[in-house]
Amino acid sequence: MDKKKAHKIASHVAASYVSRELDRVWLDRLMTTKVGKKLKALSRTEQRAFELIAYLSSAYVVYREPDPTALRSFLNSVLSDIPPELAKRMMSEDKPPDPQTALLLLEHLDDIELKTISEDKTEENNIYSENSLAVKLRKKIDMSRKSMVQNRKIIGRHSDN
């Protein structure tokens, strides 16, 4: 393998790592800044226009050189990943599920998995203690299920009338 090809392969691998970190940390942080909040506040039409401009700008930068150097290949790889990830975050709703949906999800959680988690008595996990997250989660789920059953009984009585 020649040196130029090896450099391009190395730049691609490095760009993959950088893109992962950008995706995992930095783009999420960006969306909590003033700029990110302004992007999320744009209308759908404005967001789509911004998205198109970002894609076109990225394509121009990435494809303007037919035979880029290893450093340029690295930058091209990173730059080509940013617009779709940014658009995904900009256009996401970030709304918590409504209470009815959340309760339905809780109702269908696998009891066996939760029981296994709450009964793990190893010292390093210390999950069995009364203050552990698993035990608290189990109690909240049980309370939610009881509440749902009571609500269904009440709704059933009213619908019978």
Residue 159: pLDDT over 60: no
What mean pLDDT comes out for the span 79-85? 89
The upper half-sphere exposure of residue 6, i.e. CA atoms within 13 Å in the direction of its Cβ, equals 3
The pLDDT value recorded for residue 107 is 59
Report the C-alpha gap between 77 and 11 in whole angstroms: 9
Report the C-alpha gap between 68 and 75 in whole angstroms: 10
Cα dist. 30→38, 79, 96, 147 in Å? Answer: 11, 16, 20, 40
Tokens of 97: 């599920």
* pLDDT, averaged across the chain: 75
Report the C-alpha gap between 72 and 136 in whole angstroms: 52
pLDDT tens profile 37-66:
899 899 999 999 999 999 999 888 888 887
Residue 76's pLDDT band (boundaries 50, 70, 90)?
confident
Residue 69: pLDDT over 60: yes
Report the C-alpha gap between 111 and 113 in whole angstroms: 6
Tokens of 151: 């609500």
pTM for this one?
A: 0.52
pLDDT tens profile 109-123:
554 455 554 455 554
The pLDDT value recorded for residue 47 is 92
